[in-house]
Amino acid sequence: MADKIKIGITQGDTNGIGYEVIIKALSDARILDMCIPVVYGSSRFFGIHRKFVPETDQVTTNVINSAEDARPKRINIINAVPENLAIEIGQPTADGAKAAILALEAAVADARRGAIDAIVTAPINKHTVAEQGFGFPGHTEYFIDRFGAKDGLMLLCSSDFRIGVVTNHLPLSKVSKALTKELILSKTRLMNTSLIHDFGRDRPKIALLSLNPHSGDGGSLGTEETDVIIPAIEAAKQEGILAFGPYSPDGFFGTFALRKFDGVLAMYHDQGLIPFKVLAFDGGVNYTAGLPIVRTSPDHGTGYDIAGKCKANPGSMISAIYSAVDFCHSRKKYAEISANPLEIKHFEGPRYERTIMPE
């Protein structure tokens, strides 16, 4: 069992669909065969949500005090949330946010000391956690800070394509001023490194999108392309990165040109996430590239409107768990061969396509 990846799974917002998709995902024995899951949250909340998910009586849970006590073939639960916090399914509440923060902090503490190999985060409500003093726009920024990374990349992954964003949770009115040659180059480097180390891509090809309509149309519709995006692409090429563009997003996604590239770098949040969720919502994964640990999450939100109704699709959570395991194995394999540069060109790490659960 020493080689089995230990995955920490945070409960997310108590009142959302986090527990439902966790329970549905972990009720499949194939996931328990490939990893040891440790759920950070509350065994009481787990039990309440479990009542809304039929045919999960056969699922075996194991309440533990620390990740070191986790057992294989079990859904291990660490009670990181006090019993006095209330649950109001379908409602954004202060207690739901507090529970999400406490579960997240407990999982991160265990990851920092090496007790778990990766973290899969269930959705939080960004507004309610902010009211409880969370202090970060989202999970991505939190993980970058907690693990002391110089930078990080929000990377949305599916079986066919990967889309990253230069600016994460930033108001659209601030995007243009935030874009610099240095920032775009940093994100391009992160994507290139992740595609090699985490996805096993050899000499990955990366497409960068433009900010303005028609790529600025020669400057008549904006100059960000000529001022910052193109210089960043040229700088990346000088470093040996296969970077191309900038491409106008409407034509790029309309013609499915994204399938010709190993990764796509969008300039802002919705520019990348809207097409991604249209094309891959039920099985998409949000991955934070650039961290010393693996962190994935489903690509959906708290889903208050369907919480407690057994309507949530667990596909994205399943893919998040599978991909976390894949990335851990891929990083380990790359580390083993990286001492011999001649072998790197032959590196074929676990591919994300393998993470999709077979029917």
CATH number at residue 106: 3.40.718.10
Residues 267-288 have pLDDT tens digits of: 999 999 999 989 887 788 999 9
Where is pLDDT greater, at 216 or 62? 62
Domain-embedded: residue 345:
no
Query: Residue 39 sits in which domain range?
Result: 1-149+291-313
Residues 143-162 have pLDDT tens digits of: 999 999 989 999 999 888 99
Residue 66 has pLDDT above 60, yes or no: yes
What is the predicted pLDDT for the residue at 257?
83
**Domain shared by 12 and 130, yes or no:** yes
Query: Per-residue confidence at 336, pLDDT binned at 50, 70, 90?
Result: confident
**Domain shared by 88 and 230, yes or no:** no
**Domain shared by 7 and 145, yes or no:** yes
Domain-embedded: residue 31:
yes
Report the number of distinct structural domains present in the chain.
Answer: 2
The C-alpha atoms of residue 206 and residue 241 are separated, in whole angstroms, by 8
DSSP string, 297-326: EESS---GGGTTTT----HHHHHHHHHHHH
Residue 174 has pLDDT above 50, yes or no: yes
**Domain shared by 208 and 281, yes or no:** yes
**Unique residue bearing structure tokens 């600016």:** 167
Instruction: Establish how many alpha carbons lie within 13 A of residue 212's alpha carbon, considering only the half-sphere containing its beta carbon.
Output: 19
Residue 332 has pLDDT above 70, yes or no: yes
**Domain shared by 77 and 209, yes or no:** no
**Domain shared by 4 and 128, yes or no:** yes
Residue 320, CA distances (Å) to 32, 55, 287, 344 in order: 14, 23, 8, 26
The C-alpha atoms of residue 69 and residue 62 are separated, in whole angstroms, by 9
**Domain shared by 273 and 156, yes or no:** yes
What is the predicted pLDDT for the residue at 219?
82
DSSP string, 5-63: EEEEEE---TTSSHHHHHHHHHTSHHHHHHEEEEEEE-HHHHHHHHTTSTT-TT--EEE
Query: Per-residue confidence at 339, pLDDT binned at 50, 70, 90?
Result: low
What is the predicted pLDDT for the residue at 343?
42
Paired tokens of 353? 């396509």
The least confident of 59-73, 89-103, 271-285 is 271-285
DSSP string, 128-142: HHHHTT--SSSHHHH
**Domain shared by 195 and 215, yes or no:** yes
Q: What global pTM score does this model have?
A: 0.88
Query: Per-residue confidence at 340, pLDDT binned at 50, 70, 90?
Result: low
Instruction: Give just the sign of the alpha carbon dihedral 273, 275, 276, 278.
Output: positive
